[in-house]
Structures are given as structure tokens and as C-alpha cells.
């Protein structure tokens, strides 16, 4: 079930919202119905809802101010406005605050049910996406042991959709980084984005560019191969996708502070 908190200063409206709607049938648990924004903020100290249904015109703190304060505390709480103020300025400000929906008074229980049903469907999809992402991350961790080392996930930020797109790009890079002709355009095409946008997204989420991540993966593979004296350095250069040994030597030294030969000698 998804948790809902209502903020409405008019008692008769508040009571109607509490009792005229079958919240359980909507897969919603009604945490409570309070009179103003200050009570909502106090409630958040104890328990956080998934949804907030709030009036605009309330004493002490109006609904828009409340939504702004709630989003600062937890941007995942989805907010719906309930108001008799059918004014464009309020709607425009609500859009800026990423309000989920805007319902006008006098309240119609059927309209409330429709809006809440849509909200629950959205939350359910987001919850499923989080579960899918969690499973994907665990799979990546189990199957791609070098991934977490190459791209520190603790620095990742952004939306779930961004993370999923970047994960797809990482998977493609992991499978293709040894190709000599591998380019940013190939990675972008693999996830259906433009080169510029994917590179911007990739850097936002991981803290590095795609080219940097390709080089880093190549250098990690080179370091692994250099520990085997039976493998020639020129063979390693070719294996990880470099056509120029001087370029490979410079990239490796930049990554590890040693030339490939100096690095190998450490293990002889």
C-alpha cells in the first residue's frame, strides 16, 4: 500500500475526504488528515507519506509553501493540490514545483479517486523500476567484478531512468572496449541517444566521460595482462584496442604512474 497524508483546513472537507473515499480499494493507507502545513511537517518527523494531498489556501503556511518545504525534505513525495482557487498563477507555480495533479473544489469523490488511482499507478511503476534496477545492479556486481572498480557507483546521482540508460551504456562499453574502432557514437547508438546528450548524462551520473571510462577499462585489462610475462607488451596493446604503442604507453603511465615495462617488472 501507498501512504497518503491530507492537509485541509476546512473541517467538513477534511472529513469528507477521510470518509467518502474507499482509500483501501485504491491501495492507499490514509495516515491522517491535518489542518495546516505545520502539522504536515511535524508528521514528517515521525513518518513520511508517498502522497500528499493539500489545499492551497491554509493558515500559517499555504499549500504551495508546504509543497516546497516537503520537496526539500524528500523530493520523492508526490504532491497533489486541492483548491477552489482556479487561478493561472497558482497552476503555474504548481507546475514549477512538479505537482502531480491539480483538483478543484467543490470536491468530487469520483474525481479524487481518478486522480489518486493515476498517482498510485505511477508510484507502482516507479517502485517496480527501483526493484528492477536493484536486481540489475546486483547482477552487474556479480557478473562484472571490475565494473564497480572502474566506475564508482557511490558517486552516482540522478533519476532512475538516467541510471538505467547509463547502465546500458556501461554494459556496452564493458563488452566492446577492446574494439579498435570503438567510438562515442557507437555507445550512443547502443542506447538510442545523441553523442552529446549521452556523454553529458554519463558524466553527470558517473563523474567521468565515456572516453575516460573506455581508457580506464582498457588500462585495467592491460595491468592484468602485464602480470603474465608470457604475454608480449605489443600483444597487450593490440588486445585492448590500441594501434599505437606510444599512445598506449602514455595512457598507461598516466593511469598508473609507470610505463607498461616498469609495471611488469614489479611482478618479475
Q: What is the pLDDT of residues 221-248, one digit of tens each?
A: 999 999 988 889 999 998 888 888 888 8
Q: Average pLDDT of the chain? A: 83
User: Does the structure show a pLDDT above 60 at 94?
Assistant: yes
Q: Looking at residue 208, what is its pLDDT?
A: 85
The alpha carbons of the chain give a radius of gyration, in whole angstroms, of 27
User: Does the structure show a pLDDT above 70 at 133?
Assistant: no
In the block, cell 546486483 appears at 138
Q: Looking at residue 95, what is its pLDDT?
A: 65
- Measure the CA–CA gap between 214 and 180, rounded to whole angstroms: 11
Q: What is the pLDDT of residues 2-58, one digit of tens each?
A: 999 999 999 999 999 999 999 999 999 999 999 999 999 989 888 889 999 999 888
Percent of the chain whose predicted confidence (pLDDT) is above 90: 28
Q: For residues 67 and 99, is the Cβ–Cβ distance under 8 A?
A: yes
Specify the CATH number for 2-128; select among 3.40.140.10, 3.40.50.2300, 2.160.10.10, 2.40.10.120: 3.40.50.2300
- Measure the CA–CA gap between 268 and 44, rounded to whole angstroms: 61
In the block, cell 558517473 appears at 206
Average pLDDT (147-174) is 66
Other beta carbons within 10 angstroms of residue 244's beta carbon come to 10
Where exactly does CATH 1.10.10.60 map onto the chain?
144-268
Q: CA–CA distance from 92 to each of 99, 101, 149, 245, 266 (Å)?
A: 10, 12, 45, 59, 64
Q: For residues 107 and 80, is the Cβ–Cβ distance under 8 A?
A: no
Q: Looking at residue 89, what is its pLDDT?
A: 62
Q: Looking at residue 51, what is its pLDDT?
A: 96
Domain 144-268 CATH superfamily: Homeodomain-like (1.10.10.60)
pLDDT band at 64 (very low <50, low <70, confident <90, very high): confident
Where exactly does CATH 3.40.50.2300 map onto the chain?
2-128
Amino acid at each position: 500500500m501507498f501512504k497518503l497524508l491530507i492537509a485541509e483546513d476546512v473541517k467538513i472537507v477534511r472529513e469528507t475526504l477521510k470518509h467518502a473515499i474507499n482509500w483501501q480499494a485504491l491501495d492507499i493507507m490514509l495516515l491522517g488528515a491535518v489542518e495546516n502545513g505545520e502539522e504536515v511537517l511535524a508528521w514528517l518527523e515521525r513518518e513520511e507519506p508517498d502522497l500528499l494531498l493539500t489545499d492551497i489556501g491554509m493558515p500559517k503556511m499555504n499549500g504551495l509553501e508546504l509543497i516546497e518545504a516537503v520537496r526539500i525534505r524528500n523530493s520523492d513525495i508526490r504532491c497533489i493540490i486541492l483548491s477552489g482557487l482556479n487561478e493561472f498563477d497558482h497552476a503555474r507555480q504548481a507546475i514549477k514545483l512538479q505537482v502531480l495533479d491539480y483538483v478543484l473544489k467543490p470536491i468530487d469523490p469520483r474525481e479524487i479517486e481518478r486522480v489518486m488511482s493515476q498517482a498510485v499507478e505511477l508510484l507502482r511503476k516507479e517502485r517496480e523500476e527501483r526493484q528492477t534496477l536493484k536486481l540489475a545492479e546486483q547482477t552487474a556486481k556479480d557478473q562484472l567484478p571490475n565494473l564497480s572498480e572502474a566506475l564508482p557507483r557511490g558517486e552516482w546521482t540522478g533519476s532512475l531512468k538516467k541510471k538505467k540508460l547509463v547502465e546500458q551504456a556501461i554494459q556496452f562499453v564493458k563488452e566492446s572496449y577492446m574494439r579498435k574502432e570503438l567510438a562515442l557514437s557507437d555507445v550512443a547508438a547502443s542506447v538510442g541517444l545523441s553523442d552529446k546528450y549521452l556523454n553529458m548524462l554519463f558524466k553527470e551520473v558517473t563523474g567521468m566521460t565515456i572516453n575516460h571510462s573506455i581508457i580506464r577499462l582498457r588500462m585495467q585489462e592491460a595491468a592484468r595482462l602485464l602480470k603474465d610475462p608470457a604475454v608480449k607488451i605489443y600483444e597487450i596493446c593490440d588486445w585492448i584496442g590500441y594501434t599505437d604503442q606510444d599512445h598506449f604507453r602514455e595512457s598507461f603511465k598516466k593511469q598508473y604512474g609507470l610505463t607498461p615495462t616498469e609495471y611488469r617488472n614489479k611482478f618479475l
